[in-house]
């Protein structure tokens, strides 16, 4: 059994295509209202069509989360940045050094933030 992070999405096809490109993998589970991607042996990311979520979601999709993905080192971060720009992701923060390490941020189709960072 995997741990699962669930993101509520407005447009399943658009979000599925985005995360499929971002994660460079096919969905592990796929329906009209729910898609999941296995990230590693213990973690999956699920996309749940917001209109189907029970109980009903009151906040706008993407406005309440930031996922942080740590990468091994600066060259790996630079490769991930090139991958994100190559797939047309919306870059909201170019690579920069911060207190916690080198980082950059993108948004998914619903405005959810995804931060990539190297540990200090």
Listed by start position, the domains of the chain span 3-117
CATH class of the domain comprising 3-117: alpha beta
Task: Give the sign of the dihedral formed by CA 117, CA 83, CA 106, CA 78.
Answer: positive
Q: What is the pTM of this model?
A: 0.84
Tens-of-pLDDT digits for all 120 residues of the chain?
579 999 999 999 999 999 999 999 999 999 999 999 999 999 999 999 999 988 887 776 666 678 899 999 999 999 999 999 999 999 999 999 998 899 999 999 988 899 999 987
Q: What is d(CA 107, CA 110) in angstroms, rounded to the nearest whole number?
A: 8
Q: What is the pLDDT of residue 56?
A: 84
Q: How many residues does the chain have?
A: 120
Asked if the peptide bond before residue 55 counts as cis, ω within 30 degrees of 0, the response is yes
């Amino acid at each position: 059994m995997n741990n699962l992070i669930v993101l509520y999405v407005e447009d399943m096809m658009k979000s599925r295509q985005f995360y499929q490109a971002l994660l460079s993998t096919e969905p592990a589970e796929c329906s009209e209202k729910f898609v999941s991607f296995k990230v590693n042996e213990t973690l999956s990311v699920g996309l749940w069509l917001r209109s189907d979520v029970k109980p009903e979601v009151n906040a706008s999709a993407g406005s309440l989360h930031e996922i942080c993905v740590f990468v091994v080192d600066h060259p790996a971060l630079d490769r991930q940045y090139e991958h994100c720009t190559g797939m047309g992701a919306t870059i909201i923060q170019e690579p920069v050094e911060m207190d916690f390490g080198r980082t950059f941020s993108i948004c998914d189709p619903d405005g959810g933030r995804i931060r990539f960072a190297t540990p200090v």
